[in-house]
Structure 1
């Protein structure tokens, strides 16, 4: 059996207005089901501490659940624990209509951090990143340039971005170019 490796094996760009880095392996589960189902709500609370509301992420420790659509969540757990998490979800939701699929190896995860992280994000996504409009815990699915992506703030000056693994290098290049020194627009 081969060892899993992340898309860009920790690539980083640290010579600009913000730092960009590939975050390594992340356990991810797509969960589709009825958000009103009490079993599903209880299972998500056990993983992420709360059921996320629309366009938000719920986090507890190193696990989280993000609202992706009216019937889809993205559950994130440490990579080594994804099988256990799927087994727990399958057990908790037995007898209900749902789908839980491990999508860990199909995704890449990046972080953009620093005082100008909002500027970097604003250059690439059609979202209002002003401090009063986009806050920690908010979650969006959108495009960053031509790439479908999901992102959220994980700190005051830090964003996490998830995209398909097949476009990981392109995403890293987009983020790095947007973070180049001298590219400030002082939007915020």
Structure 2
């Protein structure tokens, strides 16, 4: 855990399994059931069940963070259904950015609107932070889970630190 600006903390997320599932509605529904969800989440939304998390990244795509026996249940549920299930655990790493100014730091690196009304809790998307591709998922009002390719992690952390150093969060100074 590293405080990058007053009230803004960057924390590494422990290594975990990350899967990318591509398939038609039947495969996505089977995956949702295996994760303990009523249905696959809507586009650009996340859903959490007892078997893990599903992030809907495209009409036929889920990024899955299975927990416990979630992976085995997922593979069993998909047996016999046309799909692609790729383990990207070694490619991706994750960290959280949290605090009162986390959205401001992200907004300095990306043209997306990270205001809570525009990017609510549970929303997830792929985007570019500066020059690094990233998956961003808002897990709480002031917390973002960010996934990037392992090779981009040092670069992106440096960019986040640079932005935070250059920003002033004193709202009284802005007139």
TM-score (norm 2): 0.86
Deviation of residue 14 (structure 1)?
Answer: 0.8
Structure 2 partner of 1:46 = 34
Q: How many residues align?
A: 170
> Within the alignment, does 1:179 sit opposite 2:167 as a pair?
no
CA deviations 1:139-170 (Å, max 9, x no partner) are 11110000010101111111010011111111
Pair 1:125–1:15, CA change in 2 (3 A): closer
Deviation of residue 62 (structure 1)?
Answer: 7.4
Structure 1 partner of 2:18 = 28
TM-score (norm 1): 0.81
SS of the residue 2:40 aligns to: coil
Structure 2 partner of 1:158 = 143
8 Å Cα contact 1:15/1:180 also seen in 2: yes
SS of the residue 2:35 aligns to: helix
Runs of 4+ with >4 A deviation: none
Unmatched segments (≥5 aa) in structure 1: 1-11
Deviation of residue 21 (structure 1)?
Answer: 1.6
8 Å Cα contact 2:28/2:60 also seen in 1: no
Deviation of residue 121 (structure 1)?
Answer: 1.1
**Distance in structure 2 (CA, Å) of the matches to 1:23 and 1:115:** 20
SS of the residue 1:105 aligns to: coil
Q: Which has the higher contact order (CA 8 A, sep 6+)?
A: 1
Deviation of residue 178 (structure 1)?
Answer: 2.3
Out of 91, 94, 110, the residue aligned to residue 109 of structure 1 is: 94
Comparing 148-157 and 19-28, the one that deviates more: 19-28
Unmatched segments (≥5 aa) in structure 2: none
Deviation of residue 108 (structure 1)?
Answer: 0.9
Pair 1:185–1:160, CA change in 2 (3 A): farther
Pair 1:13–1:69, CA change in 2 (3 A): same
Pair 1:146–1:15, CA change in 2 (3 A): closer
SS of the residue 1:32 aligns to: strand
Question: What root-mean-square deviation, in Å, do the aligned CA atoms of Structure 1 and Structure 2 show?
Answer: 2.2
Pair 1:139–1:147, CA change in 2 (3 A): same
